[in-house]
């Protein structure tokens, strides 16, 4: 057990800290995740790339900083920005999911054309995966394309396309091979959101906001070379990005920050003369959550050490999405309980706390428990991949159904 | 940066695990539990051969001078095997008490005896956490009066280390006049606790340090119990998964039903982060004393909650068989129950954790 990063990394940390101190006045307020980056955010992003605090390991020729991958350096950067409550680099779907996919599976031309403007926030992407009939069972997607004059002609509907309203481009799963089996008939297409035949309708959620959209395609024509990977390989290509999304939703620093906000709230809010913190039941719930957040933090350090040794994350990693989303939701729930009747205030009401953020979080985090692979799908993955339990027999399949052990789970992540 | 076990620690884990798998079988556990004396001489001897007895005894006193993290590795394996051997008090709390609060003479006398297994020391500090039934020990002029409940690793003790009402620790010989040791029978037949009644029993105090060492014993004890719970919980999770992969109903393995699969996934998801928390808490005890009490509380309360869930869920996955004595699953269930209650249950340690952070209003 060695929790020291070593002198070289301590120096690096000082360096990062000095940068944040000197420049944090330039940082934009934390961004609305569904909106286009503001001009300040774009400037900030540029500055961060120049100093290697975002897009750190992406090669220079594609607009990144070009550093050798170093997990500890990346970790230190994340820690320091989180500690200072200063937004790090842009983390939209283009940067977090599409860019890694292109780096892994794109052609040289695609990398040169798309990565740099995406990193700089000049090109905003949305993700076209889920459909009304293809959520957890994502491979059941029905949006289809046939080829006419070297063009895909796309028809169908996507849902949960979060940035669609502001996006320039979409990376989209489309069934291009009508006769191929379920997983083998899908292609990963990229095209402009200005292409004729695309209609975006905001999807209002329980929060009262439209964080997502529905996107409809009617005879949308896309040149056949706007594809990542080969025709029919889209499922494989998409799985590369879904792995990145899972990482995105389980950030231990984010949990720690929410917990600190909850602690501050419980010390601040009064019930009569007493602080909310003086209520022994609320306090007990707080400490119980604190223990869980601590466990997830050290679990994260263990995953980090595993990757430093080149070992797979194993069970420690498989559980992160399920546990982190659940914990985040419980933190918000306790905050609302702490506020009592004040906890119901919303929609810019007088006496509302923190701009209604706790209620918004409480609802939105339920969305995160469902999205990015539902809690139930996560449990299938933990059971089948992590514990190697027998797979669910498929209806109408061979008689030894339910006797096979899962080598690779058939269930993949669904939703936005 | 390396969050995890060193190679030596992994070797220690594997050695203890192999040793226990060979000799501490369920049949053997059952035999020990059913005869009323939970100590397996065979397992004790085998563990002594691995050097377990002297793990926390400093090298200058004939021990191995290892860390609490090393001890948690052993505790986890003992929990995994529901091993009927003394460890928590005799091999962890006693050497820590003596090395941190013993006089030179006390150290020189007792520590080598712990390391060789010649002395078996039971430790009673429960009253410094939450006294039950009015139990309390007072000390005056080298004599103890009152009652201490839940002296740990009670069976076969030659000497007791007892905390008085002021948190000061005392050594009392098992044969002292004015001492009546009374065994208590618990759900967990793989470990032993007892009551000590003092009526002017002669005692030898350890250092008067304002309760500092007693607090250290609480921290260490909680981490060790958390580690034991981790091992027991791991075993129960594995047993549930194995059973679900063998048992058929409705023409299918029950493990292929999502209802069963999700029970196992929930166990795994809640259990796995506990491992990192226990490791961190053990490391903090040796390397980061300012964090140690808080994370010991967290490790104790979280494992207490999570493994109660694991214990009942694993039993349910086993269906009716889980409820019988035939499978012996209840030995782990009860071990987890013991780990949860002793040295402060979840609510008690969470209240302490809140106080440590200044969140409790001064009365």
Cα dihedral across residues A376, A379, A383, A386: positive or negative: positive
Q: What is the pLDDT of residue A32?
A: 63
* Interchain CB contact of A298 with B (< 8 Å): yes
Return the residue of B nearest to A400 by Cα.
B252
| A352 and A320 housed in the same domain | yes
In the residue annotation, A245 being an active-site residue is answered as yes
Question: Model's pTM, two decimal places?
Answer: 0.93
| A254 and A151 housed in the same domain | no
CATH number at residue A310: 1.20.140.10
Q: With an 8 Å Cβ cutoff, are A280 and B351 in contact? A: yes
| Residue A402 C-alpha from the chain's centroid | 33
Q: Calculate how close chain B gets to A52, using CA atoms only, in Å.
A: 22
Boundaries of domain holding A31: 7-91
Domain assignment present for residue A377? The answer is no
The structural domain count of chain A equals: 3
CATH number at residue A218: 2.40.110.10
Q: With an 8 Å Cβ cutoff, are A296 and B244 in contact? A: no
| A217 and A259 housed in the same domain | no
| A214 and A292 housed in the same domain | no
Which DSSP symbol is given to B91? I
Residue A156 — left, alpha, or beta (φ > 0 → left; ψ -120 to 50 → alpha)? Answer: left
| A262 and A213 housed in the same domain | no
| A347 and A270 housed in the same domain | yes
pLDDT tens sequence for chain A (416 residues): 999 889 999 999 999 999 999 999 999 987 666 578 999 999 999 999 999 999 999 999 999 999 998 888 988 999 899 889 899 999 888 998 899 999 999 999 999 999 999 999 999 999 999 999 999 999 999 999 999 999 999 999 999 998 899 999 999 999 999 999 999 999 999 999 999 999 999 999 999 999 899 999 999 999 999 999 999 999 999 987 666 555 544 567 889 999 999 999 999 999 999 999 999 999 999 999 999 999 999 999 999 898 888 888 899 999 999 999 999 999 999 999 999 999 999 999 999 999 999 999 999 999 999 988 899 999 999 999 999 999 988 776 554 445 544 433 333 333 33
| A223 and A263 housed in the same domain | no
> Which is it for strands B248-249 and B252-253: parallel, antiparallel or unpaired?
antiparallel
Nearest to A294 among B255, B287, B298 (CB): B298
C-alpha distances out from residue B20 to A45, B44, B290, Å:
56, 10, 35
Domain assignment present for residue A145? The answer is yes
Per-residue pLDDT of B52-78, as tens digits, reads 999 999 999 999 999 999 999 999 999
Domains along chain B with CATH numbers: 7-116 (1.10.540.10), 121-205 (2.40.110.10), 212-356 (1.20.140.10)
Domain assignment present for residue A401? The answer is no
| A52 and A163 housed in the same domain | no
Q: With an 8 Å Cβ cutoff, are A380 and B295 in contact? A: no
Q: Is B264 exposed, middle or buried (0-12, 13-18, 19+ CB in 10 A)?
A: buried
Domain assignment present for residue A412? The answer is no
| A34 and A78 housed in the same domain | yes
Q: With an 8 Å Cβ cutoff, are B350 and A390 in contact? A: no
Domain assignment present for residue A376? The answer is no
Domain assignment present for residue A190? The answer is yes
Q: Which residues of chain B have pLDDT under 50?
A: 363
| A158 and A211 housed in the same domain | yes
Q: What is the pLDDT of residue A307?
A: 85
Residues in contact with B236: Cβ distance below 8 Å, sequence separation at least 6, in sequence order: B267, B307, B310, B311, B314, B315, B329, B332, B333, B336
Domain assignment present for residue A107? The answer is no
Q: With an 8 Å Cβ cutoff, are B351 and A291 in contact? A: no
DSSP 3-state assignment of B213?
helix
Q: What is the pLDDT of residue A412?
A: 36
Catalytic option among A131, A245, A256, A292: A245
| A145 and A225 housed in the same domain | yes
Q: Calculate how close chain A gets to B19, using CA atoms only, in Å.
A: 24
Residues 225-284, chain B, touching A (beta carbon < 8 A): 241, 244-245, 251-253, 255-258, 261-262, 264-266, 268-270, 272-277, 279-280, 283
Among A75, A91, A107, residue at a domain's last position = A91
| A356 and A254 housed in the same domain | yes
Looking at this predicted complex, what is its ipTM?
0.97
Q: With an 8 Å Cβ cutoff, are B273 and A319 in contact? A: yes
* Interchain CB contact of A26 with B (< 8 Å): no
The count of CB pairs under 8 A between chains A and B is 180
The span from the first CA to the last CA of chain B, in angstroms, equals 43
Q: What is the pLDDT of residue A47?
A: 97
Return the residue of A nearest to B299 by Cα.
A291
* Interchain CB contact of B69 with A (< 8 Å): yes
* Interchain CB contact of A401 with B (< 8 Å): yes
CA-based nearest residue to B108, from B51, B63, B55, B141: B63
Domain assignment present for residue A311? The answer is yes
């Amino acid at each position: 057990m060695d929790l020291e990063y070593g002198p070289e990394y301590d120096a690096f940390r000082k360096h990062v800290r000095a940068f944040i101190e000197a420049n944090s006045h330039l940082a934009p307020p934390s961004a609305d995740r569904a909106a286009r980056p503001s001009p300040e955010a774009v400037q900030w992003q540029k500055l961060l790339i120049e100093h290697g605090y975002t897009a750190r390991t992406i090669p220079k020729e594609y607009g990144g900083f070009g550093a050798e991958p170093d997990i500890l350096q990346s970790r230190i950067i994340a820690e320091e920005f989180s500690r200072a409550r200063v937004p790090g680099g842009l983390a939209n779907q283009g940067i977090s999911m599409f860019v890694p996919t292109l780096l892994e599976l794109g052609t040289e031309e695609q990398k040169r054309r798309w990565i740099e403007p995406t990193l700089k926030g000049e090109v905003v992407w949305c993700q076209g995966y889920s459909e009304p009939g293809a959520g957890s069972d994502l491979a059941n997607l029905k949006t289809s394309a046939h080829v006419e004059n070297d063009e895909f002609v796309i028809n169908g509907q996507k849902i949960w396309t979060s940035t669609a309203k502001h996006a320039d481009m979409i990376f989209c799963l489309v069934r291009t091979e009508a006769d191929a089996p379920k997983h083998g008939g899908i292609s990963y297409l990229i095209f402009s959101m200005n292409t004729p035949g695309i209609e975006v309708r905001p999807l209002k959620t329980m929060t009262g906001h439209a964080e997502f959209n529905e996107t409809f395609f009617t005879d949308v024509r896309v040149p056949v070379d706007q594809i990542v990977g080969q025709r029919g390989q889209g499922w494989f290509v998409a799985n590369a990005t879904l792995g990145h999304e899972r990482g995105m939703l389980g950030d231990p620093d984010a949990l720690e920050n929410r917990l600190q906000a909850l602690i501050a709230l419980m010390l601040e809010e009064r019930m009569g003369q007493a602080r909310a913190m003086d209520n022994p039941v609320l306090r007990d719930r707080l400490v119980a959550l604190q223990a869980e957040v601590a466990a997830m933090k050290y679990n994260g350090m263990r995953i980090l050490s595993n990757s430093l040794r080149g070992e797979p994350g194993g069970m420690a990693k498989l559980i992160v999405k399920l546990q982190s989303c659940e914990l985040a939701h419980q933190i918000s729930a306790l905050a609302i309980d702490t506020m009592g009747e004040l906890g119901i205030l919303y929609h810019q009401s007088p006496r509302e706390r923190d701009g209604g953020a706790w209620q918004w979080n409480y609802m939105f985090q339920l969305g995160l428990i469902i999205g990015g692979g539902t809690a139930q799908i996560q449990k299938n993955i933990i059971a089948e991949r992590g514990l190697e339990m027998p797979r669910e027999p498929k209806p109408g399949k061979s008689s030894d159904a339910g006797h096979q052990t899962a080598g690779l789970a058939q269930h993949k992540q669904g939703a936005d | 940066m390396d969050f995890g076990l060193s190679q030596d620690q992994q070797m220690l884990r594997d050695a203890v695990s192999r040793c226990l798998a060979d000799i501490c079988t369920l049949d053997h556990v059952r035999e020990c539990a059913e005869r009323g004396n939970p100590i397996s001489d065979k397992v004790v001897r085998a563990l002594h051969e691995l050097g377990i007895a002297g793990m926390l005894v400093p090298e200058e006193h004939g021990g191995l001078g290892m860390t609490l993290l090393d001890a948690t590795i052993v505790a986890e394996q003992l929990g995994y095997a529901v091993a009927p051997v003394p460890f928590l008090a005799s091999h962890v709390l006693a050497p820590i008490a003596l090395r941190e609060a013993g006089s030179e003479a006390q150290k020189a006398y007792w520590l080598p005896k712990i390391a060789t297994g010649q002395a078996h020391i039971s430790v009673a500090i429960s009253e410094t956490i939450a006294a039950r039934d009015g139990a309390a020990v007072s000390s005056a002029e080298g004599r103890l009066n009152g009652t201490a409940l839940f002296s740990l690793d009670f069976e076969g003790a030659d000497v007791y280390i007892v905390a008085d009402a002021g948190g000061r620790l005392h050594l009392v010989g098992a044969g002292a006049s004015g001492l009546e040791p009374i065994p208590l029978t618990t759900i967990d037949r793989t470990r032993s606790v007892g009551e000590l009644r003092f009526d002017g029993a002669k005692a030898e105090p350890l250092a008067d340090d304002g309760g500092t060492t007693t607090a250290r014993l609480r921290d260490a004890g909680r981490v060790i119990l958390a580690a034991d719970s981790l091992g027991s919980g791991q075993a129960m999770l594995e047993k549930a998964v194995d059973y679900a992969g063998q048992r058929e109903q409705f023409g299918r393995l029950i493990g292929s039903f999502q209802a069963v699969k999700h029970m196992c996934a929930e166990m795994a998801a809640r259990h796995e982060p506990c491992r990192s928390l226990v490791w961190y808490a053990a490391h903090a005890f040796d390397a980061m004393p300012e964090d140690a009490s808080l994370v010991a509380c967290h490790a104790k309360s979280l494992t207490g909650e999570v493994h109660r869930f694991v214990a009942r869920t694993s039993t349910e996955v086993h269906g009716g068989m889980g409820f019988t004595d035939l499978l012996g699953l209840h030995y782990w269930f009860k071990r987890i129950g013991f780990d949860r209650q002793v040295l402060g249950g979840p609510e008690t340690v969470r209240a302490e954790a809140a106080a440590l952070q200044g969140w409790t209003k001064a009365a």
